[in-house]
Structure 1
Amino acid sequence: MATTDNLHYSILASGSKGNSTYIETAHHRILIDAGLSGKQIEARMAAINRSLKDVEAIFVTHEHSDHSHGVGVLARRYGLDIYANRGTWQAMDNKIGKVPLDQKHLIAPGSVKDFGDLQVESFAVSHDAAEPQFYQVHHDNKAFCILTDTGYVSERVAGTIRDADAYLMECNHDTEMLINGTKYSWPLKQRILGDEGHLSNEDGAEALTSVIGRHTKEVIIGHRSHENNTRSLAHLTVATLLEQRDFGVDHDFQLDDAEQDHASKLMTL
Protein backbone atom coordinates (compact mmCIF):
# COMPACT_ATOMS: atom_id res chain seq x y z
CA MET A 1 0.00 0.00 0.00
CA ALA A 2 1.00 3.68 -0.14
CA THR A 3 3.90 4.58 2.08
CA THR A 4 2.79 8.17 2.73
CA ASP A 5 -0.52 9.51 3.93
CA ASN A 6 -1.39 11.36 0.72
CA LEU A 7 -3.89 11.01 -2.10
CA HIS A 8 -2.23 9.50 -5.18
CA TYR A 9 -3.77 9.09 -8.63
CA SER A 10 -2.94 8.11 -12.19
CA ILE A 11 -5.02 8.55 -15.32
CA LEU A 12 -4.60 5.07 -16.79
CA ALA A 13 -6.48 6.05 -19.96
CA SER A 14 -8.67 8.92 -21.05
CA GLY A 15 -10.36 9.28 -24.41
CA SER A 16 -13.10 8.03 -26.68
CA LYS A 17 -11.53 4.54 -26.82
CA GLY A 18 -11.38 3.83 -23.10
CA ASN A 19 -11.22 5.45 -19.67
CA SER A 20 -9.90 4.43 -16.27
CA THR A 21 -8.39 6.28 -13.31
CA TYR A 22 -6.47 4.74 -10.42
CA ILE A 23 -6.68 6.28 -6.93
CA GLU A 24 -4.90 5.29 -3.73
CA THR A 25 -4.47 6.38 -0.13
CA ALA A 26 -2.44 4.73 2.61
CA HIS A 27 -5.22 2.20 3.21
CA HIS A 28 -7.37 1.97 0.05
CA ARG A 29 -7.01 1.55 -3.70
CA ILE A 30 -9.82 1.96 -6.23
CA LEU A 31 -10.51 2.49 -9.90
CA ILE A 32 -12.94 4.97 -11.38
CA ASP A 33 -14.20 3.18 -14.52
CA ALA A 34 -12.60 0.29 -16.38
CA GLY A 35 -13.16 1.06 -20.04
CA LEU A 36 -10.23 -0.94 -21.42
CA SER A 37 -9.76 -4.69 -21.56
CA GLY A 38 -8.59 -6.45 -18.43
CA LYS A 39 -5.15 -7.06 -19.97
CA GLN A 40 -4.75 -3.42 -20.94
CA ILE A 41 -5.63 -2.20 -17.45
CA GLU A 42 -3.24 -4.72 -15.92
CA ALA A 43 -0.49 -3.39 -18.20
CA ARG A 44 -1.26 0.26 -17.35
CA MET A 45 -1.15 -0.58 -13.65
CA ALA A 46 2.18 -2.35 -14.07
CA ALA A 47 3.52 0.73 -15.85
CA ILE A 48 3.00 2.78 -12.66
CA ASN A 49 4.34 -0.06 -10.49
CA ARG A 50 0.97 -1.00 -9.06
CA SER A 51 -1.07 -4.23 -9.10
CA LEU A 52 -4.78 -4.89 -9.44
CA LYS A 53 -4.36 -7.47 -6.69
CA ASP A 54 -4.34 -4.55 -4.24
CA VAL A 55 -7.37 -2.76 -5.71
CA GLU A 56 -10.62 -3.32 -3.83
CA ALA A 57 -13.32 -1.61 -5.88
CA ILE A 58 -14.34 -0.08 -9.20
CA PHE A 59 -16.72 2.88 -9.29
CA VAL A 60 -18.56 3.02 -12.63
CA THR A 61 -19.76 6.33 -14.06
CA HIS A 62 -22.09 4.93 -16.73
CA GLU A 63 -22.64 1.90 -18.92
CA HIS A 64 -20.98 3.05 -22.18
CA SER A 65 -18.30 0.57 -23.17
CA ASP A 66 -15.43 3.06 -23.05
CA HIS A 67 -16.10 3.24 -19.31
CA SER A 68 -17.32 -0.28 -18.48
CA HIS A 69 -15.66 -2.69 -20.93
CA GLY A 70 -13.31 -4.30 -18.39
CA VAL A 71 -15.56 -4.13 -15.33
CA GLY A 72 -16.88 -7.69 -15.45
CA VAL A 73 -13.60 -9.46 -16.14
CA LEU A 74 -11.77 -7.53 -13.42
CA ALA A 75 -14.57 -8.18 -10.94
CA ARG A 76 -14.33 -11.91 -11.57
CA ARG A 77 -10.56 -12.14 -11.85
CA TYR A 78 -9.71 -10.10 -8.74
CA GLY A 79 -12.90 -10.28 -6.65
CA LEU A 80 -13.42 -6.51 -6.87
CA ASP A 81 -16.47 -4.77 -5.48
CA ILE A 82 -18.37 -2.84 -8.15
CA TYR A 83 -20.22 0.39 -7.32
CA ALA A 84 -22.75 2.01 -9.65
CA ASN A 85 -26.16 3.59 -9.36
CA ARG A 86 -29.38 1.68 -10.06
CA GLY A 87 -29.85 2.92 -13.62
CA THR A 88 -26.28 2.08 -14.60
CA TRP A 89 -26.54 -1.42 -13.12
CA GLN A 90 -29.73 -2.07 -15.07
CA ALA A 91 -28.11 -0.86 -18.31
CA MET A 92 -24.76 -2.65 -18.00
CA ASP A 93 -25.61 -5.83 -16.09
CA ASN A 94 -26.19 -7.95 -19.19
CA LYS A 95 -23.12 -6.48 -20.94
CA ILE A 96 -20.37 -7.26 -18.43
CA GLY A 97 -21.11 -10.93 -17.72
CA LYS A 98 -21.93 -12.49 -14.39
CA VAL A 99 -20.72 -10.67 -11.27
CA PRO A 100 -21.33 -12.31 -7.87
CA LEU A 101 -24.17 -10.61 -6.01
CA ASP A 102 -22.02 -9.81 -2.99
CA GLN A 103 -19.68 -7.78 -5.24
CA LYS A 104 -22.50 -5.57 -6.58
CA HIS A 105 -23.10 -2.33 -4.69
CA LEU A 106 -25.31 0.72 -5.18
CA ILE A 107 -24.10 4.30 -4.92
CA ALA A 108 -26.86 6.78 -5.72
CA PRO A 109 -26.22 10.22 -7.23
CA GLY A 110 -25.49 12.79 -4.56
CA SER A 111 -24.18 10.30 -2.00
CA VAL A 112 -20.82 9.46 -0.42
CA LYS A 113 -19.14 6.09 0.11
CA ASP A 114 -16.82 6.42 3.12
CA PHE A 115 -13.82 4.08 3.29
CA GLY A 116 -12.29 5.80 6.31
CA ASP A 117 -9.33 7.66 4.82
CA LEU A 118 -11.03 7.91 1.40
CA GLN A 119 -14.47 9.27 0.58
CA VAL A 120 -16.02 8.85 -2.87
CA GLU A 121 -18.73 11.42 -3.67
CA SER A 122 -21.08 10.91 -6.61
CA PHE A 123 -22.87 13.60 -8.61
CA ALA A 124 -25.28 13.36 -11.53
CA VAL A 125 -24.38 14.75 -14.97
CA SER A 126 -26.13 15.29 -18.31
CA HIS A 127 -25.21 12.55 -20.79
CA ASP A 128 -27.07 10.13 -23.05
CA ALA A 129 -26.71 7.18 -20.71
CA ALA A 130 -29.19 5.53 -18.36
CA GLU A 131 -28.21 7.40 -15.18
CA PRO A 132 -24.76 8.98 -15.64
CA GLN A 133 -22.82 10.19 -12.62
CA PHE A 134 -19.22 11.11 -11.93
CA TYR A 135 -17.09 11.15 -8.82
CA GLN A 136 -15.05 13.43 -6.61
CA VAL A 137 -12.72 11.70 -4.16
CA HIS A 138 -11.68 13.21 -0.83
CA HIS A 139 -8.78 12.52 1.51
CA ASP A 140 -7.43 14.64 4.36
CA ASN A 141 -9.12 17.84 3.13
CA LYS A 142 -7.89 17.25 -0.43
CA ALA A 143 -10.23 16.62 -3.37
CA PHE A 144 -9.73 15.20 -6.86
CA CYS A 145 -12.64 15.54 -9.29
CA ILE A 146 -13.31 13.56 -12.47
CA LEU A 147 -15.81 15.13 -14.88
CA THR A 148 -16.12 13.83 -18.44
CA ASP A 149 -19.04 12.72 -20.61
CA THR A 150 -21.43 15.57 -19.97
CA GLY A 151 -23.14 17.96 -22.35
CA TYR A 152 -22.89 20.89 -19.97
CA VAL A 153 -21.90 21.73 -16.41
CA SER A 154 -24.85 22.95 -14.37
CA GLU A 155 -24.63 25.40 -11.49
CA ARG A 156 -25.42 22.46 -9.19
CA VAL A 157 -22.48 20.44 -10.46
CA ALA A 158 -20.16 23.46 -10.41
CA GLY A 159 -21.11 24.12 -6.80
CA THR A 160 -20.44 20.49 -5.87
CA ILE A 161 -16.95 20.39 -7.38
CA ARG A 162 -15.76 23.96 -6.85
CA ASP A 163 -12.19 24.52 -5.59
CA ALA A 164 -10.98 20.94 -5.82
CA ASP A 165 -7.24 20.39 -5.56
CA ALA A 166 -7.15 18.62 -8.93
CA TYR A 167 -9.48 18.11 -11.90
CA LEU A 168 -9.72 15.71 -14.80
CA MET A 169 -11.95 17.79 -17.09
CA GLU A 170 -13.44 16.79 -20.41
CA CYS A 171 -12.38 18.68 -23.53
CA ASN A 172 -13.74 16.21 -26.04
CA HIS A 173 -13.77 18.02 -29.36
CA ASP A 174 -12.98 21.12 -31.33
CA THR A 175 -16.36 22.34 -32.55
CA GLU A 176 -15.19 23.31 -36.04
CA MET A 177 -13.38 20.00 -36.55
CA LEU A 178 -16.51 18.12 -35.49
CA ILE A 179 -18.93 20.10 -37.65
CA ASN A 180 -16.73 20.16 -40.75
CA GLY A 181 -15.41 16.61 -40.49
CA THR A 182 -16.69 13.88 -42.78
CA LYS A 183 -16.35 10.76 -40.59
CA TYR A 184 -19.46 11.35 -38.47
CA SER A 185 -23.07 11.53 -39.58
CA TRP A 186 -25.00 14.70 -38.85
CA PRO A 187 -27.20 12.99 -36.21
CA LEU A 188 -24.05 11.80 -34.39
CA LYS A 189 -22.60 15.31 -34.55
CA GLN A 190 -25.84 16.69 -33.11
CA ARG A 191 -25.70 14.12 -30.32
CA ILE A 192 -22.13 15.10 -29.38
CA LEU A 193 -22.93 18.83 -29.52
CA GLY A 194 -26.16 18.51 -27.52
CA ASP A 195 -26.91 18.94 -23.83
CA GLU A 196 -26.50 15.18 -23.32
CA GLY A 197 -23.31 14.89 -25.35
CA HIS A 198 -19.76 16.01 -24.62
CA LEU A 199 -17.97 19.20 -23.62
CA SER A 200 -16.00 20.91 -26.37
CA ASN A 201 -12.60 22.44 -25.70
CA GLU A 202 -14.27 25.80 -25.13
CA ASP A 203 -16.99 24.28 -22.93
CA GLY A 204 -14.42 22.52 -20.77
CA ALA A 205 -12.42 25.71 -20.40
CA GLU A 206 -15.54 27.68 -19.48
CA ALA A 207 -16.46 25.08 -16.88
CA LEU A 208 -12.99 25.35 -15.38
CA THR A 209 -13.36 29.11 -14.99
CA SER A 210 -16.35 28.48 -12.75
CA VAL A 211 -14.73 25.89 -10.49
CA ILE A 212 -10.98 26.54 -10.20
CA GLY A 213 -10.19 27.97 -6.77
CA ARG A 214 -7.30 28.84 -4.52
CA HIS A 215 -6.75 25.17 -3.60
CA THR A 216 -6.53 24.02 -7.23
CA LYS A 217 -3.02 22.86 -8.13
CA GLU A 218 -3.59 20.50 -11.07
CA VAL A 219 -5.90 20.57 -14.09
CA ILE A 220 -5.78 17.67 -16.53
CA ILE A 221 -7.45 17.89 -19.94
CA GLY A 222 -9.15 14.59 -20.74
CA HIS A 223 -11.49 12.49 -22.88
CA ARG A 224 -10.23 13.97 -26.17
CA SER A 225 -11.78 12.68 -29.36
CA HIS A 226 -9.33 10.91 -31.65
CA GLU A 227 -11.16 12.16 -34.75
CA ASN A 228 -12.27 15.67 -33.75
CA ASN A 229 -9.50 17.06 -31.56
CA THR A 230 -5.76 17.14 -31.03
CA ARG A 231 -3.68 17.33 -27.89
CA SER A 232 -2.08 20.63 -28.87
CA LEU A 233 -5.35 22.26 -29.93
CA ALA A 234 -7.18 21.30 -26.75
CA HIS A 235 -4.30 22.48 -24.57
CA LEU A 236 -3.93 25.78 -26.43
CA THR A 237 -7.67 26.49 -26.35
CA VAL A 238 -7.96 25.85 -22.62
CA ALA A 239 -4.77 27.70 -21.70
CA THR A 240 -5.69 30.73 -23.81
CA LEU A 241 -9.19 31.08 -22.41
CA LEU A 242 -8.04 30.64 -18.80
CA GLU A 243 -5.25 33.19 -19.27
CA GLN A 244 -7.72 35.64 -20.80
CA ARG A 245 -9.76 35.30 -17.59
CA ASP A 246 -6.64 36.02 -15.47
CA PHE A 247 -6.06 32.46 -14.27
CA GLY A 248 -2.43 31.66 -13.49
CA VAL A 249 -1.89 28.73 -15.88
CA ASP A 250 1.30 26.83 -15.02
CA HIS A 251 1.84 29.26 -12.15
CA ASP A 252 -1.02 28.93 -9.67
CA PHE A 253 -1.81 25.47 -11.05
CA GLN A 254 -0.36 23.05 -13.59
CA LEU A 255 -2.21 22.38 -16.84
CA ASP A 256 -1.57 18.85 -18.15
CA ASP A 257 -3.00 16.44 -20.71
CA ALA A 258 -4.34 12.92 -20.17
CA GLU A 259 -3.56 10.36 -22.87
CA GLN A 260 -5.42 7.50 -24.48
CA ASP A 261 -2.50 5.17 -25.10
CA HIS A 262 -0.54 5.27 -21.84
CA ALA A 263 -0.94 5.91 -18.13
CA SER A 264 0.11 9.18 -16.56
CA LYS A 265 2.72 9.17 -13.84
CA LEU A 266 1.44 8.56 -10.31
CA MET A 267 0.59 12.04 -9.02
CA THR A 268 0.25 13.20 -5.42
CA LEU A 269 -1.99 15.67 -3.62
Structure 2
Amino acid sequence: MEIYVLASGSKGNMTYLKVGHIKLFVDAGISYKRIREKMEAYDQDLYDVKSILITHEHSDHVTGLRLLLKNKIIEDVYLTSGTYEALSDEVKILIKNVHIIKSEDTFDVLGLKVSTFMVSHDANQPVGYVIEDGSKKVCFVNDTGYVDQVYYDLLSNADCYLLEANHHPTKLMQSPRPFLLKKRILGERGHLSNDDAAWLINRFVNNKDSKWIVTHISEDCNSVLDIEESIVKAFDDPTKVEVFYATKDGLPVIKI
Protein backbone atom coordinates (compact mmCIF):
# COMPACT_ATOMS: atom_id res chain seq x y z
CA MET A 1 0.00 0.00 0.00
CA GLU A 2 1.05 3.57 -0.72
CA ILE A 3 -0.57 6.37 1.28
CA TYR A 4 -0.41 9.95 0.03
CA VAL A 5 -1.79 12.63 2.37
CA LEU A 6 -2.62 15.56 0.10
CA ALA A 7 -3.67 17.77 3.03
CA SER A 8 -4.65 17.52 6.66
CA GLY A 9 -6.10 20.03 9.10
CA SER A 10 -8.97 22.45 9.53
CA LYS A 11 -8.26 23.96 6.08
CA GLY A 12 -8.75 20.67 4.26
CA ASN A 13 -8.35 16.90 4.44
CA MET A 14 -7.71 14.45 1.63
CA THR A 15 -5.81 11.18 1.18
CA TYR A 16 -4.92 9.16 -1.90
CA LEU A 17 -4.55 5.40 -1.44
CA LYS A 18 -2.76 3.26 -4.01
CA VAL A 19 -2.63 -0.53 -3.82
CA GLY A 20 -1.05 -1.79 -7.03
CA HIS A 21 -3.52 -0.92 -9.78
CA ILE A 22 -6.21 0.02 -7.22
CA LYS A 23 -6.51 3.76 -6.64
CA LEU A 24 -8.99 5.73 -4.56
CA PHE A 25 -9.44 8.90 -2.53
CA VAL A 26 -10.63 9.30 1.04
CA ASP A 27 -12.34 12.70 1.28
CA ALA A 28 -11.72 15.72 -0.95
CA GLY A 29 -11.52 18.71 1.34
CA ILE A 30 -9.22 20.92 -0.75
CA SER A 31 -9.77 22.85 -3.96
CA TYR A 32 -9.70 21.11 -7.32
CA LYS A 33 -6.68 23.22 -8.25
CA ARG A 34 -4.75 22.00 -5.21
CA ILE A 35 -5.80 18.41 -5.87
CA ARG A 36 -4.35 18.62 -9.38
CA GLU A 37 -1.17 20.26 -8.13
CA LYS A 38 -0.64 17.70 -5.37
CA MET A 39 -1.23 14.73 -7.65
CA GLU A 40 1.19 16.18 -10.20
CA ALA A 41 3.77 16.72 -7.44
CA TYR A 42 3.38 13.05 -6.47
CA ASP A 43 3.72 12.10 -10.17
CA GLN A 44 0.31 10.43 -10.03
CA ASP A 45 -2.39 10.60 -12.70
CA LEU A 46 -5.53 12.21 -11.28
CA TYR A 47 -7.65 10.68 -14.05
CA ASP A 48 -6.78 7.17 -12.88
CA VAL A 49 -8.83 7.66 -9.70
CA LYS A 50 -12.51 6.83 -10.14
CA SER A 51 -13.66 6.09 -6.57
CA ILE A 52 -13.86 8.08 -3.36
CA LEU A 53 -14.84 7.33 0.24
CA ILE A 54 -16.38 10.27 2.12
CA THR A 55 -16.26 10.40 5.93
CA HIS A 56 -18.70 13.29 6.39
CA GLU A 57 -20.05 16.44 4.76
CA HIS A 58 -18.05 19.22 6.41
CA SER A 59 -16.39 21.54 3.90
CA ASP A 60 -12.87 20.58 4.94
CA HIS A 61 -13.71 17.08 3.69
CA VAL A 62 -15.79 17.73 0.54
CA THR A 63 -14.72 21.11 -0.92
CA GLY A 64 -13.14 19.55 -4.01
CA LEU A 65 -15.80 16.92 -4.64
CA ARG A 66 -17.99 19.00 -6.96
CA LEU A 67 -15.27 19.66 -9.52
CA LEU A 68 -13.92 16.11 -9.30
CA LEU A 69 -17.41 15.02 -10.36
CA LYS A 70 -18.01 17.81 -12.85
CA ASN A 71 -14.72 17.07 -14.62
CA LYS A 72 -15.74 13.41 -14.88
CA ILE A 73 -12.85 12.12 -12.78
CA ILE A 74 -14.71 10.52 -9.87
CA GLU A 75 -17.54 8.14 -10.79
CA ASP A 76 -18.19 6.09 -7.64
CA VAL A 77 -18.91 7.85 -4.35
CA TYR A 78 -19.23 5.88 -1.09
CA LEU A 79 -20.92 7.62 1.84
CA THR A 80 -23.68 7.24 4.42
CA SER A 81 -27.24 8.31 3.69
CA GLY A 82 -26.88 11.13 6.21
CA THR A 83 -23.76 12.45 4.53
CA TYR A 84 -25.39 12.17 1.12
CA GLU A 85 -28.46 14.11 2.24
CA ALA A 86 -26.23 16.83 3.71
CA LEU A 87 -24.50 17.46 0.37
CA SER A 88 -25.72 20.27 -1.85
CA ASP A 89 -28.13 19.41 -4.67
CA GLU A 90 -25.49 20.68 -7.09
CA VAL A 91 -23.08 17.99 -5.91
CA LYS A 92 -25.65 15.19 -5.62
CA ILE A 93 -26.84 15.61 -9.20
CA LEU A 94 -23.28 15.17 -10.48
CA ILE A 95 -22.67 11.80 -8.80
CA LYS A 96 -22.68 9.08 -11.44
CA ASN A 97 -22.74 6.10 -9.09
CA VAL A 98 -23.73 6.69 -5.47
CA HIS A 99 -23.08 3.87 -3.00
CA ILE A 100 -24.96 4.35 0.27
CA ILE A 101 -23.16 2.62 3.12
CA LYS A 102 -23.99 2.06 6.76
CA SER A 103 -21.89 2.30 9.89
CA GLU A 104 -20.55 -1.08 11.00
CA ASP A 105 -20.80 -2.26 7.40
CA THR A 106 -18.26 -4.23 5.34
CA PHE A 107 -18.10 -4.00 1.58
CA ASP A 108 -15.79 -4.30 -1.41
CA VAL A 109 -14.24 -1.37 -3.24
CA LEU A 110 -12.15 -2.31 -6.27
CA GLY A 111 -11.10 -5.53 -4.56
CA LEU A 112 -10.31 -3.93 -1.20
CA LYS A 113 -12.18 -4.88 1.95
CA VAL A 114 -13.62 -1.76 3.57
CA SER A 115 -15.15 -1.77 7.04
CA THR A 116 -16.92 1.24 8.54
CA PHE A 117 -17.35 2.30 12.14
CA MET A 118 -19.21 5.13 13.85
CA VAL A 119 -17.28 8.20 14.89
CA SER A 120 -18.55 10.87 17.27
CA HIS A 121 -18.59 14.21 15.46
CA ASP A 122 -21.09 17.01 14.89
CA ALA A 123 -21.93 15.86 11.38
CA ASN A 124 -24.74 13.83 9.80
CA GLN A 125 -23.86 10.11 10.15
CA PRO A 126 -20.05 10.44 9.98
CA VAL A 127 -17.94 7.28 9.74
CA GLY A 128 -14.35 6.10 9.85
CA TYR A 129 -12.84 3.48 7.57
CA VAL A 130 -10.66 0.38 7.90
CA ILE A 131 -9.22 -0.69 4.55
CA GLU A 132 -7.54 -4.06 3.97
CA ASP A 133 -5.97 -5.69 0.93
CA GLY A 134 -5.46 -9.16 2.40
CA SER A 135 -2.02 -8.47 3.83
CA LYS A 136 -2.07 -4.84 4.95
CA LYS A 137 -4.53 -2.83 7.03
CA VAL A 138 -4.93 0.93 7.32
CA CYS A 139 -7.34 2.80 9.62
CA PHE A 140 -8.81 6.27 9.06
CA VAL A 141 -9.86 7.72 12.44
CA ASN A 142 -10.43 11.45 12.06
CA ASP A 143 -12.89 14.04 13.35
CA THR A 144 -14.17 12.29 16.43
CA GLY A 145 -14.49 13.22 20.08
CA TYR A 146 -13.88 9.65 21.22
CA VAL A 147 -13.67 6.09 19.90
CA ASP A 148 -16.18 3.60 21.28
CA GLN A 149 -14.47 0.56 22.77
CA VAL A 150 -16.76 -1.72 20.76
CA TYR A 151 -14.49 -0.91 17.79
CA TYR A 152 -11.17 -1.59 19.51
CA ASP A 153 -10.82 -5.09 18.02
CA LEU A 154 -11.55 -3.80 14.53
CA LEU A 155 -8.94 -1.06 14.89
CA SER A 156 -6.25 -3.11 16.59
CA ASN A 157 -2.98 -4.20 14.98
CA ALA A 158 -3.18 -2.19 11.78
CA ASP A 159 -0.11 -1.48 9.68
CA CYS A 160 -0.93 2.24 9.53
CA TYR A 161 -3.23 4.66 11.33
CA LEU A 162 -4.38 8.03 10.10
CA LEU A 163 -5.60 9.15 13.50
CA GLU A 164 -6.04 12.71 14.63
CA ALA A 165 -4.28 14.36 17.55
CA ASN A 166 -6.03 17.67 17.20
CA HIS A 167 -5.16 19.79 20.21
CA HIS A 168 -3.46 20.34 23.52
CA PRO A 169 -6.40 21.11 25.87
CA THR A 170 -4.57 23.78 27.86
CA LYS A 171 -3.46 25.62 24.73
CA LEU A 172 -6.99 25.37 23.36
CA MET A 173 -8.54 26.85 26.49
CA GLN A 174 -5.95 29.66 26.60
CA SER A 175 -6.47 30.50 22.93
CA PRO A 176 -8.58 33.48 21.77
CA ARG A 177 -11.10 31.18 20.14
CA PRO A 178 -14.77 31.68 21.09
CA PHE A 179 -15.86 29.68 24.13
CA LEU A 180 -18.53 27.77 22.19
CA LEU A 181 -15.91 26.62 19.68
CA LYS A 182 -13.63 25.47 22.50
CA LYS A 183 -16.56 23.60 24.06
CA ARG A 184 -17.34 21.95 20.72
CA ILE A 185 -13.76 20.79 20.15
CA LEU A 186 -13.41 19.43 23.69
CA GLY A 187 -16.81 17.71 23.62
CA GLU A 188 -17.63 14.13 22.76
CA ARG A 189 -18.63 15.21 19.23
CA GLY A 190 -15.50 17.25 18.68
CA HIS A 191 -11.88 16.17 18.24
CA LEU A 192 -9.37 13.90 19.96
CA SER A 193 -6.73 15.56 22.13
CA ASN A 194 -3.07 14.53 22.06
CA ASP A 195 -3.45 12.43 25.20
CA ASP A 196 -6.58 10.73 23.83
CA ALA A 197 -4.88 9.88 20.56
CA ALA A 198 -1.65 8.61 22.10
CA TRP A 199 -3.60 6.44 24.55
CA LEU A 200 -5.61 4.92 21.71
CA ILE A 201 -2.60 4.15 19.53
CA ASN A 202 -0.85 2.49 22.48
CA ARG A 203 -4.01 0.44 23.05
CA PHE A 204 -4.41 -0.55 19.40
CA VAL A 205 -0.83 -1.58 18.61
CA ASN A 206 0.14 -4.86 20.24
CA ASN A 207 3.56 -6.30 19.47
CA LYS A 208 3.43 -5.07 15.89
CA ASP A 209 5.49 -2.43 14.12
CA SER A 210 3.00 0.16 12.92
CA LYS A 211 3.00 3.62 11.42
CA TRP A 212 0.96 6.49 12.82
CA ILE A 213 0.22 9.42 10.53
CA VAL A 214 -0.91 12.11 12.95
CA THR A 215 -3.69 14.06 11.26
CA HIS A 216 -5.84 17.15 11.81
CA ILE A 217 -3.23 18.90 13.98
CA SER A 218 -4.36 22.34 15.13
CA GLU A 219 -1.99 25.03 13.88
CA ASP A 220 -2.47 27.33 16.87
CA CYS A 221 -3.43 24.98 19.71
CA ASN A 222 -0.91 22.19 19.22
CA SER A 223 2.65 21.34 18.21
CA VAL A 224 4.78 18.33 17.37
CA LEU A 225 6.49 18.69 20.76
CA ASP A 226 3.13 18.59 22.55
CA ILE A 227 2.18 15.41 20.69
CA GLU A 228 5.54 13.79 21.41
CA GLU A 229 5.13 14.53 25.11
CA SER A 230 1.78 12.71 25.06
CA ILE A 231 3.40 9.77 23.25
CA VAL A 232 6.11 9.50 25.89
CA LYS A 233 3.46 9.55 28.63
CA ALA A 234 1.07 7.05 27.04
CA PHE A 235 3.20 4.53 25.15
CA ASP A 236 4.56 1.50 26.97
CA ASP A 237 7.20 1.32 24.21
CA PRO A 238 7.59 4.46 22.06
CA THR A 239 9.73 2.55 19.53
CA LYS A 240 6.91 0.25 18.45
CA VAL A 241 5.26 2.96 16.33
CA GLU A 242 6.86 5.11 13.64
CA VAL A 243 5.23 8.55 13.77
CA PHE A 244 4.67 11.01 10.91
CA TYR A 245 3.05 14.44 11.16
CA ALA A 246 0.65 15.48 8.40
CA THR A 247 0.11 19.18 7.69
CA LYS A 248 -2.01 21.40 5.48
CA ASP A 249 0.65 20.81 2.80
CA GLY A 250 0.32 17.06 3.07
CA LEU A 251 3.03 14.47 3.55
CA PRO A 252 5.45 12.50 1.32
CA VAL A 253 4.26 9.04 0.37
CA ILE A 254 4.13 6.48 3.19
CA LYS A 255 4.58 2.86 2.12
CA ILE A 256 3.40 -0.11 4.17
Partner residue of 2:8?
14
| SS at 2:199 equivalent | helix
Greater alpha carbon shift after TM alignment, 61-70 vs 218-227: 218-227
Tell me, which stretches of 5 or more residues in structure 1 are unaligned? 1-6
Tell me the distance in 1 between the aligned counterparts of 2:149 and 2:215.
Answer: 21
What RMSD in Å do the two structures reach over aligned CA positions?
A: 1.6
Paired amino acid for 1:83: Y
Change (3 A) 1:216 1:166: farther
Number of aligned positions between the proteins: 255
Paired amino acid for 2:82: G
Q: CA deviation at 1:95?
A: 6.6
Paired amino acid for 2:75: L
Q: Does 1:39 align with 2:33?
A: yes
The correspondence of residues 185-264 of structure 1 with structure 2, limited to 5 A, is 185-234=178-227, 236-242=228-234, 245-247=235-237, 249=238, 251-261=239-249, 263-264=250-251
Match of 2:83 among 79, 88, 96: 88
Cα contact 1:13–1:260 (8 A) shared by 2: yes
Moved >3 Å (runs of 4+): 93-98
| SS at 1:12 equivalent | strand
Tell me the distance in 2 between the aligned counterparts of 1:105 and 1:152.
Answer: 27
Partner residue of 1:156?
150
Cα contact 2:16–2:23 (8 A) shared by 1: yes
TM-score (norm 2): 0.94
Q: CA deviation at 1:232?
A: 3.0
Paired amino acid for 2:78: Y
- Identical residues among aligned pairs (%): 33
Paired amino acid for 2:221: N
Tell me the distance in 2 between the aligned counterparts of 1:23 and 1:87.
Answer: 24
Change (3 A) 1:93 1:217: same
Q: Which has the higher strand share?
A: 2
Q: CA deviation at 1:215?
A: 3.2
Tell me the distance in 2 between the aligned counterparts of 1:239 and 1:170.
Answer: 13
Tell me, which stretches of 5 or more residues in structure 2 are unaligned? none
Q: Does 1:74 align with 2:64?
A: no
Partner residue of 2:104?
110
Tell me the distance in 2 between the aligned counterparts of 1:117 and 1:28.
Answer: 8
| SS at 2:207 equivalent | coil
Q: CA deviation at 1:113?
A: 2.7
Q: CA deviation at 1:97?
A: 6.1
Paired amino acid for 1:158: Y
Cα contact 1:28–1:56 (8 A) shared by 2: no
Match of 1:169 among 154, 163, 169: 163
Tell me the distance in 2 between the aligned counterparts of 1:167 and 1:43.
Answer: 25
